[in-house]
Amino acid sequence: MAVTGKTSLDRDVTDWVAAHDGKSGFYPLLEGLDALGVRLAMIDRAERSIDVQYFLMKPDSAGALFAMKLLEAADRGVRVRFLLDDIFTTVDDTAFLVMNQHPNIEIRLFNPVGRGGIYYLSYLGNFKLANRRMHNKSFTVDNRVSVVGGRNIADEYFELLKEAEFRDFDIFAAGPVAEDISATFDRFWNHKLAVPMEAFAGNKALPDLVAARAELDQAALEVADSIYARALASPLMRDVFDRKVELFPADGKVLTDDPEKLLQKISVDHQLLVTALAAVIDDATSEVVVITPYFIPGERGVQFWRSIADRGIRVVVITNSLASNNHVPVHAAYARYRHAMIAAGAELYEVRVDSSKLPEGSAQASYDSMTLHTKGLLVDRRLTFVGSLNLDPRSIDINTEFGVLIDNADLAGGIAERFFASLPGFAYRVTENESGKLRWTVQIDGKEVVEKNEPQAGKWLRFKAFLSRILPEGQL
């Protein structure tokens, strides 16, 4: 269990919870720099423990800054536990081994792929297990505050790339729910698939921590100064921790798969998270909004959504278009179900790849391309789910997933209001014309624009999507 005690965060959160009838507090992190700023502020305020669990980390600006701040926390005596899935984490083992030398830092890789020989052959040689991944994402400090959502530790998730943006969503959580998140972290941390970093040392001649720190700190500082300043300048970061922002009080329920799912044959019995969410959706009375980067409902999913819409409940699904999707084969599989989902009564939207590109001279950040990476669910403008779950076979059947369900109408209603206000220009509404052909409609500069083919996608991209239809849907 995470180390706890009377830290300043514990005192502040305990006082807040007592004043709000024992509920947890939540606040949405809609912008990338806010999400980075809050994480850095949490590290700076840590006194006892930091528990980090992510699907991937990259050796880029965000990764270097994150590593530097974790080392600073460890220097203060904070115990740092860092759990990463191994498959898409591109930080070199040596860097983790160096960090792992710190007496207050322990790093584990989840379900690691063998290091001997050629990487891809090692993966294919143990495909049955290597294909099963921990997709969970959580970040918890002093067992009292957490951030959960869709972001990993890489530049694209925090608005640090000039040419492209991943539109993502996290939520800051404080109070009892953070203890439940810690319990889930422990379950994965203590599982036999979580392998201590020492197992990868081999015969590597590692530099000592002091020597390596100088090089790491220099690399981090070269990119960190401006980024750190921008993140710390986030007014939301300051307001949250100076208690100038009122958190949304709510009952929060952690929904998670069990790590044993990865060792079991694919079956409904181990689809714990999606089964719990299906029950929540089945109890809806007026509206369900699904936001997911990857949407492959399958025949069973189409029938499920039809059963919801047939009860008069509005079903809205927003996902990536072909142009904005960073996984073309996933879009190819999703495209098979567009007609069926429309016939089932769902409102279907696909993101404009240039929806984050603003006019020249705009004070806001502008990006040439945008990919939706948000994973969320709004039910009856009262319940909000945020986590790691994509609505595709990989998330449902193959990987473990994690998230939090929050019961607060003000929070859900505010997110829904902002969502629907931006939707006409942010995404194409996909419908059928009188002949049953798909058409894509969007508002651009106040004018309605209708497309008859996959919008903003060239012939080569469409051809790749066509070829991708041969790939097995169950692996996407």
Angle between helices 93-100 and 209-232 (to 10 degrees): 100
Query: Which residue is associated with the tokens 């203060």?
Result: 76
Q: How many CB atoms lie within 10 A of CB 128?
A: 7
Among residues 69, 135, 270, 331, the one annotated as catalytic is 135
Residue 293 near residue 319, CB atoms below 8 Å? yes
Instruction: Give the dihedral of Cα atoms 289, 293, 294, 298; nearest 10 deg.
Output: 10
Please say if 135 is a catalytic residue. yes
Instruction: Note whether 314 and 285 are within 8 A (CB).
Output: no
Answer whether 404's CB lies under 8 Å from 171's CB.
yes
Give me the half-sphere count of Cα atoms (radius 13 Å) on the Cβ side of residue 34.
16
Calpha distance 368→339 (Å, rounded)? 30
Catalytic hit among 373, 392, 397, 407: 373
Options 142, 155, 168, 170, the catalytic residue:
142
Give me the catalytic one of 137, 191, 270, 327: 137
Contact at 8 Å (CB) between 88 and 57?
no
What are the start-end ranges of the H helices in 325-439? 328-335, 338-343, 393, 409-426
Candidates 177, 151, 179, 137; CA nearest to 34 is 151
Catalytic annotation present for 253 = no
Nearest to 77 by CA among 50, 97, 56: 50
Catalytic residue among 86, 155, 168, 380: 380
Strand, helix or coil for residue 396: helix
Tokens of 133: 């991944």
CA distance 369 to 166: 9
Q: Is residue 459 flagged as an active site residue?
A: no
Strands 347-351 and 369-372: unpaired
- What's the CA gap between 376 and 94, in Å, rounded? 35
Q: Which of 60, 375, 392, 407 is catalytic?
A: 375
- For residues 375 and 151, give the distance between their C-alpha atoms in angstroms, rounded to a whole number: 10
Check residue 469 and give left, alpha or beta (phi > 0: left; psi -120 to 50: alpha): alpha
CA dist 287 and 313 (Å) reads 5
Torsion, Cα of 354, 360, 365, 369 (10° steps): 20
Least Cα distance to 281 among 383, 410, 194 occurs for 383
Quick check: is 331 catalytic? no
**CA 335 to each of CA 190, 296, 317, 370, 373: distance values in angstroms, whole numbers, following the listed order:** 40, 8, 13, 20, 18
Q: What is the token pair recorded at 38?
A: 């809050």
Query: Scanning the structure block, which residue is given the tokens 């991937």?
Result: 56
Going by C-alpha positions, the residue among 220, 228, 214, 221 that lies closest to residue 59 is: 220
Catalytic residue numbers? 135, 137, 142, 373, 375, 380
